[in-house]
Every structure is written in structure tokens, then in C-alpha cells.
Amino acid sequence: MSRLLDKIFHGYKPAVLPRINNSRPVEVQVGLGIIAVVELTWRDQLLHWEPSDYGNITHVILSQNAIWKPDITLVNSLQQNIYVGGDEVLLRLNYNGVISWQPAFYAGFTCEVDVTKYPMDVNICRIRLGAWMHDESSVHLEPMGQPTVLEPGIKNGQFHIEVVTPINTVAHYDGELYRFLYFGIKLHRRASYVFLSMLLPMFVIGLLNIVSFIIPADNEGKVDLSLNILLSTTVFIGVCHDDLPDRSDKISSIAVYVISLFVLSFLGVLGNTIVLLVHQHEESKQSRDAWSPTSTSTSNHTHDPGEDDTSDPFKQWNNLIPYAEKAPQTRDTPSDQSEATSATPVIAVISASKAARLNLVFLVFSTFGLMACSGGVLLQMLT
């Protein structure tokens, strides 16, 4: 082994490109493994031997600093100067000069995503690798036969990961031509958690807004229920704020859905308040209409001059009883008695029907609003 290393590294300099013909670039095949394992293969034309001359040794394991290696870097990294490889990384040199290098690195990179269909969005993130200083005439990068490999047993709970075909591109910098490889992974977001923890509770809160209009118009608890629904919606939005994508250029459909339900909850409070006010107004009007015949009949009623009304307290209270409920002291005809007795119920039915019709209008509006918002969001996510 020592004699072999002395022979192949005699006069060898790692800074010199490993090629005999300077007109041809060094071809480097690049592969990518998830998580962040890069595999590079190239042929060093200056390092080769006959295995039969050195005890049938077909390969040796060397330090990466002992030979020339391409200066591959992660171009779209969040950090600066993320070069592939490290001092502890070893490589394999075969007898024919083919070198296999598998350095591992962990780094964050930028990725442009579209969250319009969140949480059912599908995005492709690409890792851009390239030789930092060597142009196309020195180093030619090309993807391997199976360029991207997913490690078995590694499963992401938030995304379903697929491999896409890499893209080989070139770019001009300072008059030179540089080659870059884009390794892509397709991310399908798993939406079950978001549906169970966010969309389903918001839909149930929207159903409670409909229930508030099912309560009769004369029940003051309508307003209390709608206020509690509005408060619950506000608290729920605050809790889910961190889970919503905070982007203004591409607003997610789920954010629009949450804000729409908040507006519907506010309109529910406003609608229940209006229904209750209309009911109270009609109820007070009904009371005034019930008292007006009593005052007329009391002014037209004749009394005996010798009769002292103040001596009989029951007669004083009798004058204050509504006309429709007063005991028949006068000899009215049966038709007049029935008409006076039925006057108050008829007014009550008419007054209640106005508030009930208004309550029905708000019920239909809230139901249509919830179904339209929910259906629109699902349609946008699925298309």
C-alpha cells in the first residue's frame, strides 16, 4: 500500500485539474440523497495503476484533501459559502482513476412556495448546486442516472415527498459560462391535521351562528349566543394565527375562510340584535293599541250622581283593566264581546310574524353564507 501511494502521488498536486488533455473538462456526475447527502463521481486521469503490480489492490480510501475535488457549493443556501465536504470526509479512489465522493451536509435553502391552496398545496423546491470557481470549460456537471434518492424509513409527517427530474442549466457570469444543477423535490402537504384542528372547529362555529337564528325572535338569549360565537371566533383566530401562512402576495384560501366566518359571526350579532329590537318595538306598539279602547269607553261611561266611585276600590282598579280583559259590566252583544276579546291575539300574531319573518331572512342568509364560504374554499383547494 505504501509503495502504491508513493507511486501514484509522486509529483501529484491537488490544486491541479486531474486531466491530461487541457481542452476537455473534467466530467463530474452529481447525485443527491435526502437528507442532504451529495454523491459525486469523476475520473482523475493522473491517478491510476495496475492492480496486478500492487498485490491486486483495486481501490484505496483517502482523505479528500489529498487529491483534487470540485468546489461544489449550495448556491441558494440561507447561509453563506456552503461548500460540499469537510476535513473529516473520506473518498474512494479506484485503480482506473474513478473517484467516488459522498460528503454529507445539512443546510437550509430558499424555496418559493404558493400557499393559495393551503393546506392542500403542492410545491416543488429545488436545490441549486454548482461549481463556484470553475467554469464550463474546466468542470462539466451532469446528473447521475438516479440523481435523487429518498432514504428508506424516513417519513415526514407534514409533507409527502416525491422526487422530480433534475434540471441542467447554464448561466453567464463575467463573460464565462457556468453550469448549475437543480435537484427538485415535490412536497404534497398532508392536510388531515389542518382539517381536524382548524377547518372543522371553524365550520362548527359557523353552524352555531345558524342556530342563533333558529331560536325564537322573542328570546333575548339570541344576542348572548351570537356574542359568545363572535368571541369564540376571535379567540380561535388568535390561537390559529401561527399556523396560517403569513404572506400578503399570495393569501391562502383558509385565511380568507377564517376571516369570512368572522364577518358572518359579526353579522350574526347584528342580525339578532335587529330582530330583538323589532320584536320589542312591535310588543310595545301592541300594548299601546290594547290600552286605547279602554280610555275611550271610560270617558263615555255614565255614572249615577249619587254613586261614590272612590268608596269602592274594586271599581277604581276595574277602570284600569284593559278593555279586552274587562268583565262585561255593560250589556254588549255577543259579537261585540268576541271582537273585543280577540283584538289583542290578532295584533300579537301580526307583530310576532314581522320579527319572525326578519329572523327567517337572517337564518337563510347565514346558512347560504356558510355554505358559500365552505364550498368556495374546498373548490379552490381541489382545483
Question: What CATH number corresponds to the domain at position 18?
Answer: 2.70.170.10
Q: Give the pLDDT of residue 230.
A: 92
In a domain, 308, yes or no: no
Say whether both 185 and 71 belong to one domain.
Answer: yes
The predicted model gives 173-198 an average pLDDT of 87
> CA 52, CA 56: separation in Å to the nearest integer?
5
The yes-or-no verdict on residue 85 having pLDDT over 90 is: no
What is the model's pLDDT at position 330?
44
In a domain, 151, yes or no: yes
Cα 330 from Cα 239, distance rounded (Å): 70
Residues 235 and 352 in one domain: yes
Residue 313: inside a domain, yes or no?
no
Mean pLDDT over each residue of the chain, to the nearest integer: 78
Stretch 83-112: mean pLDDT, rounded? 83
Residues 154 and 182 reside in one and the same domain: yes
75 and 133 within one domain: yes
Three-state DSSP state, 81: coil
Total structural domains within the chain: 2
Find the domain containing 262 and state its range: 193-294+325-382
Q: Are residues 207 and 349 in the same domain?
A: yes
In a domain, 138, yes or no: yes
Structural domain ending residue among the three candidates 145, 161, 190: 190
When pLDDT is cut at 50, 70 and 90, the band that residue 132 belongs to is confident
pLDDT of the residue at 327: 43
Question: What is the rounded distance in angstroms from the CA atom of residue 212 to the CA atom of residue 222?
Answer: 5
Whether residue 176 is predicted with pLDDT greater than 50 in this model: the reply is yes
Least confident of 48-62, 74-88, 97-111, 162-176: 74-88
User: Both 159 and 219 in a single domain?
Assistant: no
Residue 112 has pLDDT above 80, yes or no: yes
Do 287 and 357 share a domain, yes or no? yes
Give residue 341's pLDDT: 45
Say if CB 138 and CB 26 are below 8 A apart: yes
CA atoms within 13 A on the CB side of 244: 21
pLDDT band of residue 283 (cuts 50, 70, 90) is confident
Instruction: Using the predicted structure, report yes or no on whether residue 266 has a pLDDT greater than 80.
Output: yes
Residues 107 and 231 in one domain: no
Residue type at 22 in one-letter notation = N
Residue where one domain finishes, among candidates 160, 190, 220: 190
Instruction: Verify that 185 and 210 share a domain, yes or no.
Output: no
Query: Do the domain assignments include residue 303?
Result: no
Indicate whether 88 pLDDT > 80. no
Evaluate if residue 270 carries a pLDDT over 90.
Answer: yes
Q: What burial letters (b/e) apply to 15-48, b meaning 16+ CB within 10 Å?
A: eeebbeeeeebbebbbbbbbeeebbbbbbbebbe
Can you tell me the distance from the alpha carbon of 254 to that of 244, in angstroms, rounded to the nearest whole number? Answer: 8
Q: pTM of the prediction? A: 0.65
232 three-class SS:
helix
Among 141, 159, 190, the domain-final residue is 190
Residues 113, 257 within the same domain:
no
Write the single-letter amino acid at 367. Answer: T
Give 133-136's long-range contacts (Cβ < 8 A, gap of 24+): 133/71, 134/70, 134/71, 135/176, 135/177, 135/178, 136/25, 136/170, 136/176, 136/177, 136/178, 136/179
Residue 304, in any domain of the structure: no
Residue 74 lies in a domain: yes
Q: Do 182 and 224 fall within a single domain?
A: no
Cβ proximity of 363 and 213 under 8 Å: yes
Asked whether residue 307 is assigned to any structural domain, the reply reads no
Do 18 and 74 belong together in one domain? yes
**Of 92-96, 98-102, 347-351, 369-373, which range is least confident?**
347-351
Please determine, for residue 301, whether its predicted confidence score (pLDDT) is greater than 70. no
Q: What is the pLDDT of residues 321-371, one digit of tens each?
A: 444 444 444 444 544 444 444 444 444 444 446 888 888 999 999 999 999
